[in-house]
Structure 1
Amino acid sequence: MRRNRFFPVGRGTLSPRSLRSQLLSRSLLVLALLLALIGSVQYVVVKNFLYRNQAETLMSQIRGIPDFFLFGGELPAWAERIGGVPASPKEGERRPVLFLPDTSLALISSSSEVISRSDGSGLPAPRLSEAEYAAVRNQPRNLRKDAYKVVRDPNGMEQLVVFRPADGPQRRGTLIQMGIATAHLKAIALRQLTIFMVLSLIALGGGLMLYLSVLRKTLKPLHQMIGTVRELDAGNLDRRFPASLGQSEIDRLAVSFNGMLERLQTSFATEREAKEQMRRFIADASHELRTPLTSIHGFLEVLLRGAADKPEQLNAALSSMLGEARRMKKLVEDLLTLAKLDRAPVLSRSEIRLDALVAEMEPHLRMLADGRSVVFRLAPEMTVTADSDKIKQVVLNLFHNAVQHTDPAKGRITVTLSRVTEHEALLCVQDNGPGIPAEHLPHVFERFYRSDASRTRKQGGAGLGLAISQAIVAAHGGRISAHSAPGGGAAFEVRLPAAAADAAAR
């Protein structure tokens, strides 16, 4: 059966795609590469060390070779000219000469001719080029003790050779060349490398066993986070990750997750609230539209039953139908206004004087007051950058709301315009009505909200005026608020940012 690629891997198993297996494999790969690099460097260092020691040994042996061995016997004419000794020295003067095994010995004349001086059991002497021999002759004496060359002899065997100038003024330009096979030196270096690699493999095996437990403990906070995430859902977003798990990277991840959960929780709460508001909005809008439609439908049925033949009943029915149609038309217009303000309100901004705008509306407002006492207190030279038609709509809505909630005979409405700060203007509409109960005060700007559920349509509108006013003020970058005390009336305050020129003049 094929395993699902999305099936979660348990903590005790290793999958090629799991973080633990990837960390383990990559760590072991890096460690293996480091050990291989160290082994290679060690092999080169050991080989060079062995070659250098061997070169020093050969130089010491060259210095102990007697002249009769080097220059005795039958020599060519050039060897006799540089001070060769008789082939048969006196009895008792010949001393034994010992050589390392697998060595070669030769004399190099000034013309780079090679004369081998080892016996038949030795190795053939390698031959270098004239340029290389010239470079050896020109090398400073203090550098020759550590100088050596690795070359191949006529048989193809690799040898390490050293050079020493012959003593005596008559032997100037003559070099003594001694070499030894490098096979045993390489064998030693390879043996050291093999021991190192075996120990490295043992260390990798032991480290693997220890690293698994350490890695499991290191990834434990991450597994805890995975378990917490699995328990989260849209209805359970109050879980949070511990912000101190002992690892800075995991801690930062936990803080980021907690911030994301906070935003998700806020977003879900806002969405639920928006859905609830939409549900209430649809229900209230349906109710507001159903009432005039039901009224018009009833009047039409009355007219169809014969009331149309009676002028007095016909006029009353038509007047009522016209009133309901106007109210329905006003409701639809208010809904369209709110929809436009919710999208991207288009405002025709210009610098206007609020005191002049309210003074212009004063005759209309006094007519709407219908006998109620109206007082205007307008501070002069109050300039704002706003859409004059929209601001007039706000003033009209607030004034109409005050008229609806004040007594026709004893009602008193005060319109005040003042400066709060040099950057803010305050417009206040206050009445002496019954006020707004404290439990209803936070909801007065909600759409279709009514603080008095028993009010008739004649006493109140659809409940959209304050919502429209709030949207207009917010589009201008201002604020609107309501203040009330039971029995002490209500006051609606609009704060608008003052125009730049007006603020600079102050």
Structure 2
Amino acid sequence: MFVFIYMNFASEFNNFVEKEEQQHLANVKQQLAKVYSQYNSWQGISQSVHLWRSIVAPKSKPVKSKPKSSVASKPLQPTPSLLWINLPADLLKTGQRISLYNAEKQVVVGKPQIADNPHIEPIVINKNTVGWLGLMPSRLVENSPAKAFLTAQFHNYFMITLLVILLAFVMAILLSRHLTKPIKQIVHGTNQLNKGNFSNRITPLTRDELGILTSNVNELANTLEHNQQMRFQWMSDTSHELKTPITVLRSHLLAVQDGVFIADEKRINLLIEQVDNLNHIVDDLAQLVNNDTANLTYHFNKLDLTKVFKLALQNFSARFKERSLTLNNESLIAAPQYFINADKDRLMQLFTNLLENTCRYTHAGGQVNITICKNLKRKEVTLCIQDSAPGVKSEELNKLFERFYRVEKSRNREFGGSGLGLALCQQIVLAHNGDITLGHSALGGLEAKITLPLFE
């Protein structure tokens, strides 16, 4: 920018100076023509230096002082910033660089040889050339006012450029530090995540895109930390769940081997029951892993939700009679067809787990209510299963979806559950773009509410 501005300024300024010199030269020619016409020769010029100087180098008129001023006034000097707008007479010293020659190109005033002048113009009177004017342009003269002015401006621009570069350098350092500080923090935070330090958090320093990125990294750290804790809990719970039936099996088998117990039908049935319990836990684990990692196992089709649930409910009719549970399903019987996009086997697995929990944990002689309804605005269908006592505390409702979690008093190991059924149910509902919630039942027990989108 400095080079461009200076070159443009120098070019325009030289053009301006050249025009001023041409104008000055034209005025000199006009006055010399009058003098030549008066004397019919250049004798007046050659004999009077004062006359020559008054023509080629006129002086500016001094500014008159104010009448009432007691201080002697001096001629006002042009302001530097306005110096080249209204040039004082002969400020460029053009008169000192003008030479006069007669018609035969012999010197009258100035340089001895007319060829020494780069610029030559004739003085014509009545179509006759009576003399020649030679001019040495200001741009070709060392230490000329125009050249001195250009040099001064070059130094000014150069100093301004250096100051701007210095200011830009300082601002670049400050700005780079301001920009790189949050980036370095993010890099440090991600390095900590790579090392497994999921408890590390980054303090947001800005509210721009880097601040958003910092928040996202912190959320990622929260998720990784939670997943790590869940993984440790998963491994601990899994080993504990598998260890319990294995310990029972080993203790009974050792007792039979040592002769403490007799391997009768009752003892063998107990061992088979423990094997079945162990097999049930392994099956639940396998199903849960499949739901977590293999979404391609779902085969979605247009299904009637009411029909599928009635089929699942029919399979539990004997269990309801065995537990003396009163079933209220008038809403289900009167319900029309509600078509959804779903996997039939997964839905059967979902309903089987829910009904199994109801039969297993509801006190004998209790009651079960089943309702189904459609929401036209949201284009979804809601299935609700309510059972009677025992209930679940409010702080434990959300924990029921956690793997291996059981309510101590009512959902304990004596009922044979693995604590994975509701976790499987949640996975299945989410795979169908639905929602499942657990709450308090009006009958005093648990309410499971399943919402699924209708088929469009």
What interval of TM-score do these two structures reach, taking the shorter chain for normalisation?
Answer: 0.7 to 0.9
Matches within 5 A, 1:258-269: 258-269=211-222
Question: What residue in structure 2 maps to residue 271 of structure 1?
Answer: 224
1:436 Cα deviation from its structure 2 partner: 0.7
1:103 Cα deviation from its structure 2 partner: 2.0
Contact 1:307 1:314 in 2 (8 A): no
C-alpha separation in 2, matches of 1:453 and 1:48: 107
Q: Does 1:118 align with 2:107?
A: yes
Contact 2:100 2:110 in 1 (8 A): no
2:372 to 400, 417, 422: 417
Contact 1:47 1:185 in 2 (8 A): no
C-alpha separation in 2, matches of 1:195 and 1:456: 96
Contact 2:98 2:133 in 1 (8 A): no
Matches within 5 A, 1:225-304: 226=181, 237=201, 239-241=203-205, 254-304=207-257
CA deviation map 1:84-107 (0-9, x unaligned): xxxxxxxxxx64446666625365
Question: What residue in structure 2 maps to residue 323 of structure 1?
Answer: 273
Question: SS where residue 440 of structure 1 aligns?
Answer: helix
C-alpha separation in 2, matches of 1:486 and 1:499: 31
C-alpha separation in 2, matches of 1:352 and 1:205: 78
CA deviation map 1:52-94 (0-9, x unaligned): 244224423542352698889xxxxxxxxxxxxxxxxxxxxx6
CA deviation map 1:270-301 (0-9, x unaligned): 22222221111111111111112122222332
For 1:105, the aligned partner's letter is Y
1:406 Cα deviation from its structure 2 partner: 1.1
C-alpha separation in 1, matches of 2:208 and 2:44: 89
Question: SS where residue 244 of structure 2 aligns?
Answer: helix
Q: Is the alpha carbon distance of 1:484 and 1:66 closer, same or farther for their aligned partners in structure 2, counting shifts above 3 Å? A: same
Contact 1:39 1:196 in 2 (8 A): no
What value does the CA root-mean-square deviation take over the aligned residues?
A: 3.9
Q: Is the alpha carbon distance of 1:306 and 1:223 closer, same or farther for their aligned partners in structure 2, counting shifts above 3 Å? A: same
Question: What residue in structure 1 maps to residue 21 of structure 2?
Answer: 51
Matches within 5 A, 1:71-110: 95-97=44-46, 103=99, 105=101, 107=103
Could you state the TM-score of these two structures normalised by the residue count of structure 1? 0.66
Question: What residue in structure 1 maps to residue 384 of structure 2?
Answer: 428
1:364 Cα deviation from its structure 2 partner: 0.9
Question: What residue in structure 2 maps to residue 474 of structure 1?
Answer: 430
2:308 to 350, 353, 357: 357
Q: Is the alpha carbon distance of 1:451 and 1:33 closer, same or farther for their aligned partners in structure 2, counting shifts above 3 Å? A: farther
For 2:452, the aligned partner's letter is L
Which of 274-283 and 482-491 deviates more?
482-491
1:441 Cα deviation from its structure 2 partner: 0.9
Contact 2:391 2:440 in 1 (8 A): yes
Question: What residue in structure 1 maps to residue 337 of structure 2?
Answer: 381
For 1:51, the aligned partner's letter is E
C-alpha separation in 1, matches of 2:44 and 2:41: 14
> Higher helix fraction: Structure 1 or Structure 2?
2
For 1:118, the aligned partner's letter is V
Question: SS where residue 107 of structure 2 aligns?
Answer: coil
Q: Does 1:333 align with 2:294?
A: no
CA deviation map 1:166-201 (0-9, x unaligned): 405xx5xx6854222336863322222223234445
C-alpha separation in 2, matches of 1:333 and 1:411: 30
Which of 190-199 and 340-349 deviates more?
190-199
1:438 to 394, 403, 411: 394
Q: Is the alpha carbon distance of 1:317 and 1:176 closer, same or farther for their aligned partners in structure 2, counting shifts above 3 Å? A: farther
CA deviation map 1:249-287 (0-9, x unaligned): xxxx54333323322322222222222211111111111
1:227 Cα deviation from its structure 2 partner: 9.1
Q: Is the alpha carbon distance of 1:459 and 1:66 closer, same or farther for their aligned partners in structure 2, counting shifts above 3 Å? A: same
Contact 2:117 2:134 in 1 (8 A): no
Question: What residue in structure 2 maps to residue 305 of structure 1?
Answer: 258
C-alpha separation in 2, matches of 1:374 and 1:218: 77
Contact 1:473 1:479 in 2 (8 A): yes
C-alpha separation in 1, matches of 2:436 and 2:361: 19
2:119 to 160, 185, 189: 160
For 1:318, the aligned partner's letter is I
Question: SS where residue 116 of structure 1 aligns?
Answer: coil
Q: Does 1:193 align with 2:150?
A: yes
C-alpha separation in 1, matches of 2:439 and 2:171: 62
Contact 1:106 1:116 in 2 (8 A): yes
Contact 1:431 1:490 in 2 (8 A): yes
For 1:262, the aligned partner's letter is S
Unaligned runs of 5+ in 2: 57-96, 190-197
C-alpha separation in 2, matches of 1:184 and 1:404: 109
How many pairs were matched up? 391
Question: What residue in structure 2 maps to residue 348 of structure 1?
Answer: 299
Unaligned runs of 5+ in 1: 1-29, 73-93, 108-114, 126-152, 242-252, 501-506
Q: Is the alpha carbon distance of 1:390 and 1:375 closer, same or farther for their aligned partners in structure 2, counting shifts above 3 Å? A: same
C-alpha separation in 2, matches of 1:442 and 1:262: 26
Contact 2:434 2:452 in 1 (8 A): yes
C-alpha separation in 2, matches of 1:238 and 1:117: 91
1:36 Cα deviation from its structure 2 partner: 3.2
1:218 Cα deviation from its structure 2 partner: 10
C-alpha separation in 2, matches of 1:69 and 1:118: 18
For 2:336, the aligned partner's letter is P
C-alpha separation in 2, matches of 1:443 and 1:460: 19
